[in-house]
């Protein structure tokens, strides 16, 4: 019996980093590929996530750099900041990236449908605007994640990370709900730009999953920079006043906190609502994530999923690798799986922190006998800035084998330095290998080979 004919070999729902990579690679293997995207090509990271946010971080750094300039002999007159100029420049670059991702799909002969697609069966989807029914041998879901929205009274007056890039003006006072990486990155941005920032968290923990020593150091530094924290204070309600300001009523706080903007950054959840997954028998997990096997296949053999929608590791480079592995295996005959061990990560707070491998606590639970080496130092660039802030590098080592199990860093340019160090941890190098490497002086990175 002849194989059934489909409109496409692969239909991808979602043109973010994972979806675009899978589309491009599948097409390079000779597959007929189409992708549907209801918003803009590029996905969360490019359009309303890590890329525009990092540009805001860069913009906010100038407040500190310009203040330090006088100590280096520079005269800087009339230091004024204009939020619309930075905001518009960032959004203009988002436009550029959207066009670049679109060109990537065009150049790889991937057909694009700029409308929502829903699954109607194991091999079929329906486009929302045109109503067209399309068939495909395989369907890949790469719709990413979406900000978790709160349920307290007045939550509709708050914004999420989706809207923060389009604020009409710089708020004088900002309340940020949450204490994860998104919350602390925006806290650093607005604090540096001159806003008064209050971070409100329902628990007493910030940056869950990162090494406790680094978390404590970041808390100390950011409090010294003027960021206020309210721990164990869940939101009870938000009231919008006639003047446009917001009053946030918190549990365990006698008086409301007033702000111009309340940014909710309490996590992200897989974006699966309305996808029609039930029409193909695709199973979801407890957190609403699409359940997949080691090859990213769902409970329906013809449907796969990659990226944040699977809620395994919500990082853009992971989604890209998953998309590539899927396309290579299904359309290229190349057996490939993603290795989730020793994935480096960073928080672009101010100062930033970065980590790879096991924290001290995780290492002690798993290995028992571990050694910890550290360097607590004042970065050279802080000397002329008259800032007492200190960097902290920490290495966790298996005491029995001398193998490096984890590296954790906080300080200027920590993410840039950690990327190379992550290669060493991934390769299973020992503390002795670091000790045997000659230091690159003067640099902050040299602390990694001088740890005691």
Residues annotated in a binding site for FAD: 54, 308
Position 343 in a domain:
no
Query: How high is the pLDDT of residue 2?
Result: 43
Instruction: Give the model confidence (pLDDT) of 160-179 as tens digits.
Output: 999 999 999 999 999 999 99
Three-state secondary structure call for residue 39:
coil
Contacts of 446 (CB under 8 A, 6+ apart): 439, 440
| Beta bridge pairs of residue 199 | 176, 229
Asked if 127 and 52 touch (Cβ cutoff 8 Å), the reply is no
Residue pair 265/180 in contact (Cβ under 8 Å)? The answer is yes
Q: Give me the number of domains the chain comprises.
A: 3
* Residue 246: Cβ-neighbour burial (10 angstroms; 0-12, 13-18, 19+): buried
Binding-site residue numbers are 54, 178-185, 267, 308
Q: How far apart are CA 231 and CA 245, in angstroms?
A: 23
Q: Is residue 225 part of a domain?
A: yes
- Strand 303-305 to 133-141 pairing: parallel
Question: Which of 156, 140, 127, 145 is closest to 38 using CA atoms?
Answer: 127
Q: Assess whether 164 and 238 both reside in one domain.
A: yes
Q: Let me know: does 152 contact 238? Beta carbons within 8 Å.
A: yes
Beta strand spans in 256-357 (E): 257-259, 261-264, 268-270, 303-305, 345-347, 353-357
The parts of the chain modelled with pLDDT lower than 50 are 1-2
Instruction: Specify whether 112 is located in the same domain as 72.
Output: yes
Long-range contacts of 313-318 (CB under 8 A, 24+ apart): 313/340, 313/343, 314/145, 314/268, 315/343, 315/345, 316/17, 316/43, 316/45, 316/49, 316/50, 318/343
Residues 114 and 171 in one domain: no
Sign of CA dihedral 279, 280, 283, 284: negative
Note the pLDDT of residue 78: 84
Based on the domain organization, do 137 and 231 belong to the same domain? Answer: no
The model's pTM is 0.95
For the chain, the C-alpha Rg in angstroms (whole number) is 24
pLDDT of residue 3: 61
User: In terms of C-beta density within 10 A (0-12 exposed, 13-18 middle, 19 or more buried), how is residue 311 classed?
Assistant: buried
- Asked whether residue 309 falls in the same domain as residue 388, the answer is no
Is the domain of 301 the same as that of 218?
Answer: no
Whether residues 134 and 170 fall in one domain: no
Task: Give the structural domain span for 243.
Answer: 155-266
- Is there a domain that residue 3 lies in? no
Shared-domain flag, residues 57 and 107: yes
Asked if residue 312 is part of any domain, the answer here is: yes
As annotated, the active-site residues are: 441
Do the domain assignments include residue 338? no
Last residue of a domain, one of 211, 240, 266: 266
Asked whether residue 435 is domain-assigned, the answer is: yes
Q: Other CB atoms closer than 10 Å to residue 314's CB: what's the count?
A: 19
Domain co-membership, 165 together with 122? no
CB within 8 Å of 275: residues ≥ 6 apart? 13, 118, 119, 141, 143
Is residue 44 within 8 Å of residue 314, measured between CB atoms?
A: no
In this structure, is residue 339 part of a structural domain?
no
pLDDT of 1 reads 33
CA atoms within 13 A on the CB side of 128: 13
Instruction: Please say whether the dihedral angle defined by the alpha carbons of residues 35, 41, 46 and 48, taken in this order, is positive or negative.
Output: negative
| Domain shared by 20 and 139, yes or no | yes
254 and 287: one domain?
Answer: no
What is the domain-level CATH number for residue 225?
A: 3.50.50.60
For residues 80 and 92, membership in a common domain is answered with yes
């Amino acid at each position: 019996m002849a194989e059934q004919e489909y409109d496409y070999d692969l239909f991808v729902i979602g043109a973010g980093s994972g979806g675009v990579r899978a589309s491009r690679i599948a097409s390079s293997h000779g597959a007929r590929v189409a992708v549907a995207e209801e918003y803009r090509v590029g996905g969360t990271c490019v359009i309303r996530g890590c890329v525009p946010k990092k540009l805001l971080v860069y913009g906010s750094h100038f407040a500190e750099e310009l203040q330090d300039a006088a100590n280096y002999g520079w005269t800087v007159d009339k230091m004024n900041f204009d939020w619309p100029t930075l905001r518009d420049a960032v959004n203009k670059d988002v436009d550029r990236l959207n066009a670049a991702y679109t060109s990537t799909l065009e150049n790889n002969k991937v057909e694009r449908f700029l409308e929502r697609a829903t699954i109607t069966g194991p091999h079929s989807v329906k486009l929302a605007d045109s109503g067209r029914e399309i068939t495909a041998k395989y369907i890949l879901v790469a719709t990413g994640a979406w900000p978790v929205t709160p349920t307290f009274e007045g939550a509709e007056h708050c914004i999420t990370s989706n809207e923060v890039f389009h604020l009409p003006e710089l708020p004088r006072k900002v309340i940020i709900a949450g204490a994860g990486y998104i919350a602390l990155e925006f806290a650093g941005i607005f604090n540096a730009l001159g806003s008064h920032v209050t971070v409100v968290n329902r628990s007493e923990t910030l940056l869950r999953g990162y090494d406790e020593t680094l978390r404590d150091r970041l808390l100390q530094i950011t409090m010294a920079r003027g960021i206020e924290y309210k721990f164990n204070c869940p939101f009870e309600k938000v009231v919008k006043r006639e003047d446009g300001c917001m009053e946030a009523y918190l549990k365990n706080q006698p008086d409301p906190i007033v702000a111009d903007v309340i940014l909710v950054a309490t996590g992200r959840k897989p974006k699966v609502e309305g996808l029609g997954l039930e029409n193909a028998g695709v199973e979801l997990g407890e957190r609403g994530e699409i359940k997949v096997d080691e090859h990213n296949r769902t409970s329906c053999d013809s449907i796969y999923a990659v990226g944040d929608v699977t809620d395994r590791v919500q990082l853009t480079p992971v989604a890209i690798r998953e998309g590539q592995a899927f396309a290579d295996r299904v359309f290229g005959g190349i057996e490939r799986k993603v290795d989730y061990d020793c994935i480096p990560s960073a928080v672009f707070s101010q100062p930033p922190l970065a980590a790879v491998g096991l924290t001290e606590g995780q290492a002690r639970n798993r290995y028992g006998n571990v050694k910890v080496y550290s360097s607590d130092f004042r970065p050279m660039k802080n000397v002329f800035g008259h800032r007492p802030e200190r960097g902290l590098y920490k290495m966790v080592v298996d005491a029995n084998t001398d193998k490096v199990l984890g590296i954790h860093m906080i300080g200027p340019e920590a993410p840039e330095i950690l990327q190379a160090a992550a290669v060493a941890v991934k390769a299973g190098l020992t503390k002795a290998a670091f000790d045997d490497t000659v230091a690159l002086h003067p640099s902050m990175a040299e602390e990694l080979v001088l740890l005691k």
